[in-house]
Structures are given as structure tokens and as C-alpha cells.
A and B are shown apart, each in its own frame.
Chain A
Amino acid sequence: MRVNLTVNGEARQADDVWPGESLLYVLRERLGLPGAKNACEQGECGSCTVYLDGTPVCACLVAAGQAEHRDVRTVEGLPGPDGLDPVQQAFLSAGAVQCGFCTPGLVVAVHDLLARNPTPSDPDIREALAGNLCRCTGYENIVAAVKLAAGA
């Protein structure tokens, strides 16, 4: 089948999509956007987090067909004309990136958190990011990055 969707502000089309394919697969393998990651493909890790019509979702749980005529924004679409989004910059500066496999999903999740709650408390941060696994950092520097971005 063919899927039509908007990705990072651009109208895109994916052809020959199998009915079973996820939005994540279409983004990564058919549209050349591997930013969203595939750590579990079961909705447990958050590494595939993207915005779907402005709401963060696990792209691995969204069937490609469900994205028809909808608006998707991925980590690749976050930088503005002046460069990195403040959340991306904060992850970099705070040392919140080690292997970086969790990073794209976390960056989107934090971007969403700060849009809803510009000055989150420590429990707010932890609650909002509970669906995003990171195996490398022990989360110390991720919490620091969120605070840094919130202060920016």
C-alpha cells in the first residue's frame, strides 16, 4: 500500500508498505530517517519516540497505515534555523549522551515535557521520562540536561 504523511513539515509518500509495517519501520527504512531508534519494538523503551500530530508516541506501536494524512515530527526535525534545539544542546553540554541510542527518543520526550511544563520538579522529570530507558548514563546527567534546558 501507499502511505501519505507529513514528516518534519514535508509531504512524504511511502510505497510498497506492508500492512504489518510500523511507522517506525517506514520512517527508518523507507523514508531515510533513522533518527528514531528500534531498541525493543514493543513499546517498552521509548527509543522510537516521535511526535504524531503533536503528541509523543512510540513509533514502533503505530501501524504505518495509522499515520496516513497525519503529521509526524522526528528528532531530525527538532533543530531550528539557528542550529540545535535547546534540549539537544543541553543533552550535549550536560554529558547526557553516552552511546546515544536512547538519545533521540529522550530528546523528543524532554522537548514535549518542557513544552507542557517549562519548570519541572525532580519528580515531574522522572515521571515524564519513566517510559524512556537508558542503559548507559544512570540518568544522572539526563536529569541534569533537563534542568539545564529548562533554565535555558
Chain B
Amino acid sequence: MSTTTVGAGAGIGTSPLRPDGTLKVTGEFAFSSDLWADRMLWGATLRSPHPRARIVGIDLTGAVATTGVHAVLTAEDVPGKKLYGLEHADQPVLAMGQVRYAGEPVAIVAADHPETARRAAAAIVVEYEVLPPITDPVAAIDAEETVHDRGNLLRHVPIRKGSLEATAPVVVTGEYEVGMQDQAFLGPESGLAIPAEDGGVDLFIATQWLHGDLGQVADCLGLPPSKVRLSLAGVGGAFGGREDVSMQVHACMLALHTGRPVKMVYSREESFHGHVHRHPARMWYEHGADLDGRLVYVKARIVLDGGAYASTSMAVVANATTLGVGPYKVPNVVVDGYAVYTNNPPCGAMRGFGAVQACFAYESQMDKLAAALGLDPVDVRVRNALEPGDTMPTGQVVHGPAPVADLLDRVRAAAPPAQRGDDLRELPGGVANTTHGEGVRRGVGYGIGIKNVGFSEGFDDYSTARVRLEVVGGEPAAVVHTAAAEVGQGLVTIQAQIVRTELGVEQVTVATADTTVGSAGSSSASRQTYVTGGAVKAACEAVRAAVLRRAGRDDVTLRGGRLVTEGGEVVADLVDVLGDRPIEETVEWRHKPTHPLDPRTGQGDAHVQYAFAAHRATVDVDVELGLVRVVEIATAQDVGRALHPQSVRGQIAGGTAQGLGLAVMEEIQVVDGLIRNPSFTDYLIPTILDVPPMRIDVLELGDPSAPYGLRGVGEPPTISSTPAIVAAIRAATGLALNRVPVRPEHLTGT
């Protein structure tokens, strides 16, 4: 939780070492689960084993009587608002009279050892009246039985463009399904709450959005926000799974109740129950095209299972729907998206946020269309590729570069991977493969996707940055302070790079993110470099303007610690201008406003910026064993401007791997509302054996309306890798494969 100083380094467009990197490779970086305080207690959570039940009674006696236990709390003990939620407060801090999903927190315990806390929680006796869970989202839409008092429909987003009655000579239809994926960040949910003398609390927490947490935590604690101070602890990955509150309120309640610091760390099994997942989707698509393969219309119905609580479902379904036809020109569009309550685990943000599900469907459809017409799958995509100036199904005009055809051409033109060698480790299934490759078939497939960057539909999406310039040890030095969450993506490095570029100083310190500065918004929606980067740039500009005012010049820039004219003449040293009077500026920065969607037609300029990536996947499939090995992935993405090229490539590789996981292995299996595989033994994420070498082609076409021309990077790679891999498996096997993840039994038909 120390501040990080970047020494000699470089500005934007270069790849300096991350300032937190040394601590991370030596094991000294303090993740939220590594924190420790004097007299610290451990918290544990008792969760519902039932997806739907009435709570008849709770007997705390056994827990309270356990030696070493300091607090046992239930819903009655929640000091403030009893419900929370990012967009709609419908989720109880602790269950009140009923539970709506298996894993819902019912009671919390603080004890002097984590095992004591767990055993005490297990000693609580809850009497349930078990009810049959509502688990089918399609049936739930107009079912009489409801999960909440309101109906089960969380949101319906209709999109209507052009004619509703358009017809076409070539029609392909399909029904597609996407399973529930988990973010599976490696660092479990965790944090440390320390009661403060003023009756408030200090919370050190791994989160994506400090101020998003702050509002919800303060409300539930019944405290003014000024008495709840959040600091970012080391975050072990996020991918959307830390956008919602998990143990934040619980740890603070226990700390305030006991007067002692309380740490909570979820186990992996608890983590699977303790955060929202990617929405499972069922999707029905119909594409109509002319005989040349030009799209005439797309009709689609998309149903997302939101699970028991709203979380961000309303925004996820808007993305799935508004981006539902992909990066293509489509004159006539009828799309309906639905997000639905069920008694399944709650779903919300995960990298790609609704765009992932739709992309699997529309890209599968494009391949079907190509097959129906006898066209090459890339040709049919290029023929329909969105171009600058085209309109989306929402009527929004695409401004700035939209290199859809170019990205496809690039991955198609990439050199193909080598044929399989003799090394048995290169067989699908590796050394565990029981054949000698007789049944191995190679296939190649393509996918392209589109993602909105930033928060949409009129949300006031801003970030705050404070930059201070002063003389330290005879040198000019800057401190940059924001509340933006570094979750691994490298935002700390970027902030320092921007300051170096704008203020021409070498010595830049990135202060720990906390709530003593204004909100930075969430580290999600591929937005943080854009929005907090924009805020840091704007704060630097304000500082620079103050420097120039003080120096009485308006014709100079700051370079190498000096005030320099355009002609290169040095007019002053920054150190002399600053003297012992630091300059500090705090700036709130917004991207251009977005607008709501028309509730009947879905028309509106709802998004800030679009981002695109394309993938080509090459796979070997053992058709007898049902094993898949992804041999290579080629990808191309326009990032506008790569502020830190090495990190950009790291985001692309990491995102692509998560899309691979969804294609061939990752699914939370939910049966009758219960998660059947809440462990890394049974929920498989890709290992280094599963992820192939990647060819990564980064384009920097520059978006004129974004800071430095940058385009959000984090999500696009996750979106199109999934359909590309499935297309490759289809090419190898000839199977239809309408569901992801593809499992061995889908390939062998057993």
C-alpha cells in the first residue's frame, strides 16, 4: 500500500517497467489477502445451501458459544440500508426472511482464527422452508412465480431499424447458447476493515471501483461517506468480478461491531459463490442476405439469465442488443434482448459484458451464411464490413476509424502455423492422448467482434485526477493521485507515462488509489486508460498552464525539466519557476456525453467509442477422443494509440486466452440452481498447455475524439476469439456446435 515512484523512464508510446513490478516479482507486493493488523480478527460467511427458500428461524447459539468468536451478525445487525446494488439496490447485505440463490450470505462471524470463524459459521442452525427454484430464464420471462415482488423481467431492450418486414432470397437461422463463465481472477475476494476513532472505518480492499463501493458501503453502514475511507489494496485480477460489492460491507460491520480490525479472505469455493458471473445466454438468430451475400436483415432474440439479483444486467443486455448484429452493415434490424431474474447465481460484469454472447451467435451465423452461399467465410464478412460513417442498428453513426475489413484481411494473410510435428506433446490432449493422432483433423476459423468503450446510455462517466508538481531534492517531481483501480492492466505505469509526457519531468510518483480524491469510475468497460488517462492529461494541462502563468510565458512547453520554446530555446528551469511553491491541480474529466436508447425503437447515440478485434484460430481436433488443441491464434486489433505497447499486447494475449477458455473448457455448471463445480479442479481455466502461441498485430489508427487517439483495449480480444475457435472446430469436424463451451461429448456424439 505504499506509493510507487517511477525513476528514470519514459513517456507514452514506450514500454517502461511497471512501477509495482519489482514488488510483484519478489513477493513483497501487498495484495488484499496479504494484509495484517494488530489484534486482527478473521471474518467468515454462512451462505445459503438452497437456491430458493424461506428462512423460518436462525439459531446462533452454537456460534456465539464457540471459544474465540467475537461477533455473530445477521440481517438485523445491518446498521443502515439493508439492500445494495450497482444499478438497482435489490440485494440484501444479509438474507432477510428468504434466500434467492445458493450461496447467498445469511450470517457473518468474526473470530481469532480463520478456521474458528468457519467452524462457528457452520455451527449456526438455519431452518429453511425449501421452495422449488425458478431456473429457466426463458420460461421465467412471463412466469407467474417470481423471484422478487416485481416480475422476472429485469429489462427488455428492443432495437428497430429499417423495415420490420424485409425479406431476402437467402435465409439462415440458428439457435445458440453460451454457458456461465467465471472471471476466475486468481486473488480471492479479500480486504481488511479497521475501525477508526471517529466512529468510521478504513477499508483496504481489492476492487474495480473504490467510489462505487464507497456509496454502497456507507449506505449499508448508515455512515456518512466521509466516515468510510477506502484504499486500494493489491488486486489479484478482476475481469468484471470485482465491480459488485462482495465482502466489503460484511468486513466493515464486523470491525465496527468488535472494535477490532477484521480481515476476510474467500476460499476458492466461496469465491465461485461470492461474485457475479458472465450471463448464460440463449439466442435465436435469423440472417437474410441477397445472392451476393450482402445482409438484408437480421432478426434476433437474446435472453440473458441475470440470476437472483440485478447487478449490472440492465447494462449487459443493452450491450448484447445494441452490438447484437456485430460490426456489419445491416439495413434492417429487429433485435430483442431480455435480462431475466431467476434463482440461479447472480450474473453481472465480465470482460466483454454482453458483447461476448452476441458475438458467438452472429459470427456463427456469418459462417452459416457463407456456407449457404458457397462463399469464403472471410469474404462474406468483408463484403458486409462496417465502415466509418455507417450506422449501427441504434442509428448511431460510427465516427473515426473502423477497420473491420482490414483486420480480417490481416489475420487471413498471416502466415499459417506449421504442421504438427512428431512430439506427442503436440497432440490434442498432450501426452494424455491415447492415440497416435490417427483421428486428428486440422481446422481454421475466423471471428471479428465489436465492443463499446466506456459507460453508455447517458451515464455521467468521468474520472478525477490530482497532479502536483514540486521540487524534491533539487529536482522537479510530480505526484499523480487518482482513485482508479490498478487491477493488473498497468494503469499505474500509464499514469506516470502521461505525466512525464505532459510535464517533461522524470520523477513521477503514483499515489495509492483511495477515496480522498474524487471518483475515477470503474476499471471496466475498457475505459480506464481513456477516462482516467484523459483526466491525468487534463490535470497536467492545468498544472502546465499554471506554470506558464507563473513564468509569464505562453509560448513554451515543458521538456526535460525546462521551459522550452518551440524553436528549442530554453527560457527557464522548472525548478526555478516552482521554487518552494508547489503547483497542484485537480480536474474532473468527461468523455463526450452519450444518450439513452429510445425505449421502443432502441435508437440513440448510446455509446462513446467502438473497438474492434479479429481472430483466426487454427485447431487440431482428435475426432475420436473429442479432444481439441488450439494450435495457434492470429489476432489483429486497432488500439488507436498504444500508450504502453508491451501492456497492450499483454491485454490482447490475456483477453484472447479467456475467450479460448469459453470456447473449449470454462463453464460453471448449474443444476437446479446449484453450482456443481466450484473449484479449480472442476472449473478448468486454460493452462499454459492450452493456450497456443499468438501472432498479435496491433494497429494504431488514432481516434480523433479520444485522448492521444487511443481506443480501449481490454475487452475486444475476449470477444472474437471464442467464435473463431469454434469455427475452426466446425471446420475440422463438420459439426454444427451451437453451444459454448464445446465439450468432448459434443465432438464424439457420446
Contacts and interface: CB of A to CB of B under 8 A. Distances in A.
Contact of A104 (B27, B488, B489, B658): B27
B687 interface: yes
Nearest to B487: A99
B324 interface: no
Given A98-B488, A101-B31, A139 B688 contact: yes
B689 A98 contact: no
A88 B187 contact: no
Contacts of A20: 115
A97 interface: yes
Given A92-B25, A99-B236, A135-B239, A40 B31 contact: no
Nearest to A44: B680
Nearest to A141: B650
A56 interface: no
Contacts of B685: 133, 135
B226 interface: no
B20 interface: yes
Contacts of B488: 98-100, 136
A130 B691 CA distance: 11
16 contacts: A39-B186, A39-B188, A41-B268, A45-B680, A78-B26, A84-B25, A88-B25, A100-B236, A100-B488, A102-B186, A122-B693, A132-B688, A135-B237, A136-B488, A138-B656, A139-B691
Interface string B1-40: 0000000000000010110111011111111011010000
Interface of B is mostly: loop
B646 interface: yes
A17 B685 CA distance: 33
A37 B647 contact: no
B352 to A, nearest CB: 15
Given A99-B235, A140-B694, A91 B31 contact: no
B490 interface: yes
Interface string B670-713: 00000000011100010111010110100000000000000000
Contact of A135 (B185, B188, B649, B689): B185
A102 B236 CA distance: 8
Nearest to B239: A135
Interface string A94-125: 01011111111001000000000000001101
A135 to B, nearest CB: 5
A143 interface: yes
The 10 closest A-B pairs by CB, nearest first: A35-B27, A99-B488, A100-B24, A138-B653, A101-B236, A138-B657, A44-B680, A34-B34, A98-B488, A75-B27
A97 B27 contact: no
A98 B490 contact: yes
B25 A127 contact: no
B34 A107 contact: no
B227 interface: no
Interface string B169-206: 00000000000000111111000000000000000000
Contacts of A95: 15, 646-647, 649-650
A98 B650 CA distance: 8
A130 B187 CA distance: 19
A79 B693 CA distance: 30
Contacts of A47: 186
Interface in B201-254: 234-239
B188 A44 contact: no
Contact of A140 (B267, B650, B689): B650
B691 A138 contact: yes
B268 A103 contact: no
Contacts of A36: 27
A135 B186 contact: yes
Contact of A138 (B30, B184, B187, B654): B654
B553 interface: no
Contacts of B696: 140
A91 B25 contact: yes
A42 interface: yes
B655 interface: yes
A53 interface: no
B620 to A, nearest CB: 14
Contact of A99 (B186, B646, B649): B186
A20 B31 CA distance: 24
A137 B653 contact: yes
A126 interface: yes
B265 interface: yes
Contacts of A131: 687
B425 interface: yes
Interface string A39-71: 111101101000000000000000000000000
